[in-house]
Amino acid sequence: MHFTSEQRLDGDVLEREFTLGEIPGVLWTPGSVSAPVPLILLGHPGGLGKMHPRLAARALGTVAEGYAAATIELPGAGDRPRLATVDEARADLQRAVRAGEPVTEDVIQRLVLPLVDQAVPEWQATVDALLALPEIDGPVGIAGGVTAIGVRLALVEPRIAAALLFAGSYVPRSTFDEARRLTIPLHVLLQWDDEGNDRQQALDLFDAFGSKEKTLHANMGGHTGVPQFESEPGNRFFARHLK
């Protein structure tokens, strides 16, 4: 891991861009720390540059609660080499949505599974590198991002102790199977009126999770409309399980 830039943000937060091999990422840590802090991985839909303002805002909140926050670019997104098969699947999906046709399991698998297969080991390598820093310590949490990536990562990476996930749609069947095998505590957000989201599938996914502690918080509004007042229960969820 190489740090490529460094700046101080409001509230005494240190933001550092890094590369891990070919993968760009961002790390946010408290500007001054006495003891190592737990790590929360900030998920996103891809496109670090475009997402930076929202990610930085989430990171400031996360660091203020006493964690380090980090994220990496998704495979095929931002400045990373395109993934032709995923781009094709995305075009197929957009065509289906525009035509008002159902999005088939085949399209979802072609869109999501290559991302999951490539992203999860990358996130694990990122966790390796970050936990090697003296200012960061386990356990590790996941907050948001592509649902299928979060589920796989939570399942295969034992250092993940808690996950805050969005009950997204476009979830392949295999993710439901993995969800059933999850046992870590989960805090799940659902936007009840999300046009791009199949509500019933999201509820089915919540039902499928094998975890004994799982909570669903549903609110009105679309994809980006999670109300401000949901940040507090999310903070408390992580405080219960990462501290």
Residue choice 236, 238, 242, 243 for contact with a second copy (CB under 8 A): 236
Residue choice 118, 138, 216, 223 for contact with a second copy (CB under 8 A): 216
Residue choice 49, 85, 220, 222 for contact with a second copy (CB under 8 A): 220
Q: Are 93 and 170 in contact (CB under 8 A)?
A: yes
Q: Is 98 exposed, middle or buried (0-12, 13-18, 19+ CB in 10 A)?
A: exposed
Structure tokens at 75: 């495979």
Cβ contacts of 57 within 8 Å, gap of 6 or more = none
- Least CB distance from residue 112 to a second copy, whole Å? 25
- Least CB distance from residue 240 to a second copy, whole Å? 7
* 207 belongs to the binding site for a second copy (CB under 8 A): yes
* 20 belongs to the binding site for a second copy (CB under 8 A): no
Kindly write down the DSSP assignment for every residue of 200-229, as one continuous string.
HHHHHHHHH---SSEEEEEESS-TT---GG
Distance (Å) of CA 129 to CA 10, 135, 186: 26, 12, 25
Residue choice 46, 237, 238, 242 for contact with a second copy (CB under 8 A): 237
Which is nearer to a second copy, 91 or 220 (by Cβ)? 220
Residue choice 70, 214, 238, 242 for contact with a second copy (CB under 8 A): 214
- Least CB distance from residue 114 to a second copy, whole Å? 32
Residue choice 124, 174, 201, 219 for contact with a second copy (CB under 8 A): 219
| Rounded Cα distance, 171 and 150, in Å | 11
Which is nearer to a second copy, 3 or 192 (by Cβ)? 192
Structure tokens at 188: 């799940």
> Which one, of 2, 30, 37, lies nearest residue 15 by Cα?
30
> Which one, of 43, 30, 67, 35, lies nearest residue 237 by Cα?
67
Which is nearer to a second copy, 217 or 223 (by Cβ)? 217
Going residue by residue from 156 to 195, which x/- string records binding to a second copy, judged by CB under 8 A? ----------------------------------x-x---
Within 13 Å and on the Cβ side, how many CA atoms surround 95? 9
Which residues here bind a second copy, judged by CB under 8 A?
190, 192, 203, 206-207, 212-220, 227, 229-230, 232-233, 236-237, 240
